[in-house]
A and B are shown apart, each in its own frame.
Chain A
């Protein structure tokens, strides 16, 4: 699929801000199922971003704006080509014990231990046991069933959780947005020892739910030996397909923040995000 994505973040300050230092993770990655054909980052006030590749292979652009400004606009435009579904291999069946004894699992230790947003508390483990009460199977099968479990038993409700809500809190509330669904799903997988990582990106939504935020999206990937990282979206109860565009991966939200930084001056700022994901025939569509 050929997709064009516009992601514009506008910060408005009460007063003047200055000495603003920022890191952004907005450039879609290149991997086996996706190619970022073009990427453009526009900043207002103007600044020249530098970039580097972080620990997880995500591209981080960083820039600073010294002079006073009342508004900051960060606008990313990308053109991405995703591998059609038919051309994607299916995920093989691998038993949990094969996973546990696989040679590489140890290199992914950070993906099955506690992280900032996903502390592995016993409630998550219990929930995972409940969700798989019909019996254990192979790794990918379990990942999908855990995801479905969340889809069925949690309510998608914006404004009930916040940007710092952790997996165990969302579990108690049994509601949230895609970030929370992803964190809980990670908690369930990790409680069973399955290495799983957080994915941030976009998804071309052909059927939007009422009041569903058109924003960047979050889902997970689980490690299946012999295959690699297999993606599942608990918010929509399906494996990620060619409608999904990956931007960054990490242990949880803390590793993939689309924009973060500090500034001096104005006591508060408000935030507005515009995301547009559209299908194209390969040519750049004006924003």
Chain B
């Protein structure tokens, strides 16, 4: 049995963070980020397809298939829906509670986690999540379609931004803050890789289509999904070049949704959470994060395209998964429920 931990001197006993509380803060943050990202992904792609009314059915289907593939839930989708259309994909990604990654499922989960630690978060933070939850319970796909999906997605994004803003304004910069930020950036980095990956899944039939109007529009949609279009244009005055868009979303150290930026934050918060004070990280999670950060600081887009963009993104996803899982295990783990047991008669 390992001896009891001696607390680092910076953390007096009264400010000790319970694993359970850290767990809830982390997941509350991840779920909200996830909901916002799905909302944006859906919205942009719905808009994109409106712009390209001329695309034939096969292309449309390809496009929606690629969205589903990028979420990693293609098996689950196939179990419940015949074909990927704008309606079925919206249903699946926004409202279907059988999909743990749907917007509704994410917001419910975020709210549940927030409720369990209600006395730790400010009243405004709680009210924001609660109101979003109530709003979502009142909608369904038909309403979304009728009312115009834009309004719906705008609400989600607004609530997420409001929540983050309130957290920034009302939550003390304590250990809890670190878990909230850590969760947010892990989720955001993961979603950025998936947004990039959408493009991989859309197979263009001819080489000549590369750089064409559809291709460019698709890369525009990718940038929009990450709210990166304006920032990209400020950085690159020229037209959208596919490899430049990918480069921006992977390597920019100033754009808050880029992989590089997110992983830099992850590295920083991770060290604080694990109380790693030395220059060289000790734990597996911190070392993995540092290695990933180093790659993002030194690789070039050419090298990544050579290696294969999709393969690179998959590796990043796996690394992020491992980091997240390890932090959960070491700091936030609390056991499953008790079981009852039986006795023997005499």
> Hey, which bits of chain A sit against chain B, CB under 8 A?
9, 11, 18-19, 66, 158, 161-163, 177-179, 182, 200, 215-218, 253, 257-269, 271, 273
Contacts and interface: CB of A to CB of B under 8 A. Distances in A.
A264 B335 CA distance: 7
B337 interface: yes
A184 to B, nearest CB: 14
Nearest to A159: B345
Contact of B339 (A178, A260, A265): A265
A71 B1 CA distance: 20
Given A263-B338, A265-B336, A161 B345 contact: yes
Contacts of B343: 163, 257-260
Interface in B268-287: none
Interface residue range, chain B: 10 to 19
Contacts, number: 58
Contacts of A267: 339
A273 B344 contact: yes
Contacts of A179: 345-346
A51 B26 CA distance: 42
B339 A263 contact: yes
A147 to B, nearest CB: 16
B151 interface: no
A19 B339 CA distance: 11
Nearest to A215: B346
Contact of A163 (B338, B339, B340, B342): B342
Contacts of B346: 177-179, 182, 200, 215-218, 253, 258
Contact of A271 (B338, B339, B340, B342): B342
A127 to B, nearest CB: 22
Contact of B345 (A18, A66, A177, A260): A177
Give the 5 A-B residue pairs with the shortest CB-CB distance, closest first.
A218-B346, A179-B346, A163-B343, A264-B335, A163-B345
Nearest to B335: A264
Nearest to A260: B343
Interface in B289-346: 335-346
B337 A262 contact: no
Contacts of A182: 346
B335 A163 contact: no
Contact of B341 (A158, A216, A217, A262): A262
Contacts of A260: 341, 343
A271 B338 CA distance: 18
B337 A163 contact: no
Interface string B1-15: 100000000000000
The listed residue with most A CB atoms (<10 A of its CB), out of B335, B338, B346, is: B346
Given A18-B335, A66-B1, A263 B342 contact: no
B283 to A, nearest CB: 22
A271 B335 contact: no
